[in-house]
Amino acid sequence: MGRNTTAMKRGWNYDIPNSLLKAMVDGTEAFKLRKDSASVCAGYQAGAPTYTLAGQVDGARVSLATAYSASGSNRFSAFEINADTGATDLTGDTYQAAIKGALTVGTTQTNASLMGGLFSLDVGTVNLSANYFALRGHLDFWGNCTISGTSFVGALSAYVENEATTTVSASQYLMGLDIYQVGAPTVASGGFNPAIYVRCSASAAAWQKTLLVGANQHCIIQTVSSDKNIRLNGQTYTTAASIVGVQVKPRAGVNMTNEVIGIESMPGINSSYTGTGIVCFKAEPYFGSTTGALSGDVRGYEVSLGAPSGVGTQSGGCYGIEFINNSAKSFSGGIYPIFVNTHGDAVAWSGLMKLPDDGGSIADLASNAATINAVLKVVVGSTTTYLVGYTSYTAS
């Protein structure tokens, strides 16, 4: 053991009154050790400030209880490292860290669970009522800070680097983040067990984006099992508000020659396979068995068309629904823009359509003949014609 007993600037120094063994570097304590007993080392602290740590429990672990103070802030750890970049500009290809762990996997390893770092929070029989995390990243902006240039700043970072040829075999996974749960907890009504929970301290501190996918790739979300689907906002609200389950609002902010599409759905059956049917969109408003009175309408689909008065000339049309027949194959049941099925319960349809009496723009209650009571305006090609309605008819 090296010791400088004269200047005590470099090497080991034993502080007899405080029973501390100090490692000195240029007159500064690099770290110090203290013994609670002849065989138990209380703790290890690099840098300042220094906290009092406790002795071992069961011969292997460190107890934080003996360092606890009811009147203190109690921000202590079994192992703590405080690093500081100092005033030196570290610009360049530098990766500096307070703690760095590296595990090199040899060529003989084929079936082992290996980790560069492992953090475990073991919870026994206890009721938890605070914050508990096996791993927490804390990014603290305690001073004024400007993030500029090409910067990525975060509390946690997962980085996968494929420097050589990386091959992922069938049914195997290469992930940036793996979230795995064993066993299902009992979740009471109003409780939650999410794989990821995004939160903020107040509405004024809300995240600008909950999820933002960077350039060069799509946001691809899919399930592995064919009998599992992607479910969005499937919940029952207990606070009165304007409930919108999903909102999609893509907008063009640049001159372009292609279309803006809000939602595109293209379900299908691949070649050489059989099935029963294909449904692109299904609308089915839900009523509970004892739903109370509703003051408004029930609509399967609602199309609202409009544009501000200052919008420029539109060379195309404006349609609520457009039907395009792209079939190169005939169907035994025929091809129709609209198919209305017979009613499926005890109440029959009231009619095919309900139209406004707007003087002929769409429909008009006619009075030019005794038996004709309405006309329906239809444009065929560029020619306007009218479908005639009668006051009564004789059923076949």
Alpha carbon 354 to its chain's center: 42
Domain assignment of residue 37, given as a range: 1-83
Entry pTM: 0.74
Distance CA(366)–CA(375), nearest Å, equals 6
Q: Does 39 fall in a domain?
A: yes
* Span 228-269, pLDDT tens digits: 999 999 999 988 889 999 999 999 999 999 999 999 999 999
Q: Can you give the pLDDT at residue 395? A: 73
Of 65, 83, 101, which residue constitutes the final position of a domain?
83
Q: Can you give the pLDDT at residue 87? A: 81
Among residues 131, 217, 229, the alpha carbon closest in space to that of 176 is found at 217
Q: Can you give the pLDDT at residue 372? A: 82
Of 83, 118, 143, which residue constitutes the final position of a domain?
83
**Mean pLDDT, residues 371-377:** 83
Dihedral angle sign, alpha carbons of residues 203, 206, 211, 212: positive
DSSP string, 183-231: S-----TT----S-----SSGGG--S-S----TTS------SSTT----
**Strand 10-15 with 20-25, pairing:** antiparallel
Please give the tally of structural domains in the chain.
Answer: 2
Examine the pLDDT at 144 and tell me if it is beyond 90. yes
Rounded percentage of the chain residues whose pLDDT exceeds 70: 82
Burial 26-43 (b: 16+ CB within 10 A, else e): eeebebbbbeeeeeeebb
Contact 251, 260 (CB under 8 A): yes
Q: Does 120 fall in a domain?
A: no
Q: Does 199 fall in a domain?
A: no
* Span 265-291, pLDDT tens digits: 999 999 999 999 999 999 999 888 888
Of 36, 60, 83, which residue constitutes the final position of a domain?
83
Q: Does 280 fall in a domain?
A: no
Q: Does 122 fall in a domain?
A: no
* Span 90-104, pLDDT tens digits: 777 667 788 888 888
**Mean pLDDT, residues 142-149:** 90
| Residue 71 token pair | 């009147």
Tracing tokens 């009147």 back to the chain, one arrives at 71
Q: Does 88 fall in a domain?
A: no
* C-alpha pair distances (Å), 90 with each of 84, 121, 145, 156, 206: 12, 35, 17, 21, 32
Q: Can you give the pLDDT at residue 245? A: 93
Q: Where are the beta strands (DSSP E) in the chain?
A: 10-15, 20-25, 28-35, 41-46, 56-57, 61-62, 79-81, 363-364, 372-380, 383-390
* 377 vs 394, higher pLDDT: 377
